[in-house]
Amino acid sequence: MLTRLKVSGFKNLMDVDIRFSPFTCIAGANGVGKSNLFDAIQFLSALSDRSLIEAARSIREENEKSRKNPDIRSLFHRVGDEYDTEMSFEAEMLIPKQGIDDLGQGAKASSTFLRYTLIVAYRAEQRFPKSLGTLEILKEELVRIKKYDIQENLLFDYSKQWINSWFESQSQRRVPFISTEGEKYDDDRKIKVHQDSGSSGRDEGGSVGTSRKFLAKTLPRTVLSESNALESPTALLAKREMQSWRILQLEPSSLRESDDFMSDTVLGMDGSHLPATLYRLANDIENLNTGESLDDSEQQIYAQVANTLSELIHDVRSVSIDRDEKRQLLTLMVQGRDGTFHPARALSDGTLRFLALAVLNLDHETQGLLCLEEPENGIHPERIPAILKLLQSIATDANEPVDIDNPLRQVIINTHSPAVVLQVPDDSLVIAELKEIVNNHKRYKGVRFSCLNDTWRTKDEATNIVAKGRLLGYLNPVASNEKIDVNNNGGNPKLKSKKRSRVADRDDIQPYITGFTEAILEL
């Protein structure tokens, strides 16, 4: 779970410092940098699993030309044609207590609240000046956050039971798990991995714990990405946590596909393997309650998904998986109240996305951070509260202990929809705005993240408070006193024959808009 992220030098994210709770909604106009924040999270996640260059190339490019000829400088902040040469990240995170490495070896974290710092620089190739250059690690560090610092670092509301259910820490440990030796631009700068076991860097026998050093200048990837269970189990579980930071992009074409019997049984980030995932959940013996048969458990899982879906579509009787033995296919089916069965390929985009989230909510094996862009797409405005309720239920409840029914999951969404902004909890809302910044005699615009006053976020004195006037576009998106010439047809002869007016200009609609505006202005 990502609780705080500082970013500078990545795209238009300069000196950004944003805190996250189990559920966070980031609202802002198109082009301000909401997606850039998601890209920064995705970049950190990719760095925990891939080389520096591969991670850079995995992030979405700004245009078709850059995709064909990828230039890693596109990730760096730019003013005009001049790029910054460094970008820095600092992430505070909660990590799982246990896990396994790539060789199947078990690992147990000695500390579960950590801060990871990474500074990466762009380096042009001296021998090949026309090449695209490379990336170099200037600093990498992983340190524990102590228990008495929790109140300072976790500002959102939580219970002691929630903290105690996931927190572990070596109270005597004084050395980092990963550190950097030498100044930032020294050629002999080293990245050190310190032994995990024992206190103060000592092993269980009392001898001084060992550490390994790597020449930073020649590292093709982060040291964290190479951690293992034997040497550095805590760093390994930090790696596993970062690998779980994913962008959920539910594609209708993937959601409509049937699965064969040998398909993966985990929902893909594009929505693939939805039938196989639901079928696995329905037939998982671990879902059995005492005295319950497998058939009863299967029907209970399908009923839970159907009940959730009925909050979006009232005409739902059941949800099930059709198992075709002849073709060896699993197909998701939804039955209407009239008894008609509809396969996934016949369902609307919004219905499929809602179904995928309902299944994800039941799959306790899916943990970590899920980022969603504009989850309201394809959803009728009246049903937006239902999808927001579902997204919040996917995230961990910080008032209950972390367990199989309350996994350590987190959801971050971005939106520009007034209907979403009006419905999310006030302390979960973050507003993204473009602000003019002057630095080193340069003037440019960067994204700033602000919150509402009188929420937990204001416990941090450095937090920006959004002006009420900035919210009017979300609270009353239709400017009722502004008349727009909808008959300006741009010279299109097909639009000249009929005089048109906006819905907002109708006399019978105006009182509703005006009354709402007056109520907002009283805030």
pLDDT in tens, 176-190: 999 999 888 888 999
Q: How many CB atoms lie within 10 A of CB 81?
A: 5
Would the pLDDT of 444 be above 50? yes
Q: What pLDDT is recorded for position 216?
A: 93
**Domain end position, chosen among 303, 336, 366:** 366
- Entry pTM: 0.88
Instruction: Supply the range of the domain harboring residue 489.
Output: 476-521
Rounded mean pLDDT, 254-272: 94
Residues 433 and 284 in one domain: no
- Give me 112's structure tokens: 């579960």
- Give me 355's structure tokens: 């179904």
Rounded mean pLDDT, 262-271: 93
Backbone angles phi and psi of 255, in degrees to 5:
-65, -25
Residues 20 and 147 in one domain: yes
**Residue 429: in which H helix or E strand, if any?**
strand 429-439
Q: What pLDDT is recorded for position 430?
A: 94
**Domain end position, chosen among 308, 343, 366:** 366
Q: What pLDDT is recorded for position 170?
A: 76
Residues 305 and 195 in one domain: no
Would the pLDDT of 519 be above 70? no
Residues 362 and 279 in one domain: yes
CB contact burial 174-211 (16+ within 10 A = b; e otherwise):
ebbbbbbeeeeeeeebbbbbbbbbbbebbeeeeeebeb
Q: Which residue has the tokens 């005009």?
A: 80
Residue range 167-177, pLDDT digits in tens: 988 767 789 99
Cα-only R_g, the chain: 26
Whether 285 is in a domain gets the answer yes
Q: Residue 269's closest CA among 372, 350, 358?
A: 372
**The total number of residues written for the chain in this structure:** 523
Residue 494: burial class (beta carbons within 10 Å; 0-12, 13-18, 19+): exposed
Whether 422 is in a domain gets the answer yes
Whether 394 is in a domain gets the answer no
Whether 402 is in a domain gets the answer no
Whether 406 is in a domain gets the answer no
Residues 73 and 217 in one domain: yes
Backbone angles phi and psi of 278, in degrees to 5:
-65, -40
Q: What is the Cα–Cα distance from 374 to 386, expressed in whole angstroms? A: 15
Residues 195 and 268 in one domain: no
- Give me 500's structure tokens: 């048109």
How far CA 242 is from CA of 228, 245, 361, 368, in Å, comes to 15, 5, 20, 8
Rounded mean pLDDT, 73-83: 88
Q: Which residue has the tokens 């196989």?
A: 276
Residues 10 and 137 in one domain: yes
State the pLDDT confidence band at 522, using cuts at 50, 70 and 90: very low
Would the pLDDT of 346 be above 60? yes
- Give me 479's structure tokens: 């400017």
Residues 315 and 429 in one domain: no
Whether 382 is in a domain gets the answer no
How far CA 144 is from CA of 93, 169, 379, 428, 456, in Å, comes to 10, 8, 42, 26, 24
Q: What pLDDT is recorded for position 521?
A: 42
Number of structural domains in the chain: 3
**Domain end position, chosen among 331, 350, 366:** 366
Q: What pLDDT is recorded for position 380?
A: 85
Residues 265 and 302 in one domain: yes
Whether 372 is in a domain gets the answer no
Q: Residue 49's closest CA among 224, 296, 279?
A: 224
Average pLDDT value for the chain: 85
Rounded mean pLDDT, 273-279: 96
Residues 296 and 186 in one domain: no
In the three-class reduction of DSSP (H, G, I as helix; E, B as strand; rest coil), residue 355 is classed as helix
Would the pLDDT of 199 be above 80? no
Residues 10 and 122 in one domain: yes
Residues 6+ apart with CB under 8 A from 516: 476
Residues 162 and 306 in one domain: no
Rounded mean pLDDT, 508-514: 62
Q: What pLDDT is recorded for position 173?
A: 79
Q: What pLDDT is recorded for position 161?
A: 96
Specify the higher pLDDT residue, 492 or 196: 196
Residue range 374-423, pLDDT digits in tens: 998 888 888 899 999 999 999 999 999 999 889 999 999 999 998 898 88
State the pLDDT confidence band at 303, using cuts at 50, 70 and 90: very high
Beta pairing class for 429-439 and 442-451:
antiparallel
- Least confident interval from 46-50, 231-235, 429-433, 502-506: 502-506
- Least confident interval from 337-341, 364-368, 430-434, 489-493: 489-493
Whether 398 is in a domain gets the answer no
Q: What pLDDT is recorded for position 207?
A: 38
Q: What pLDDT is recorded for position 281?
A: 93
Would the pLDDT of 21 be above 90? yes
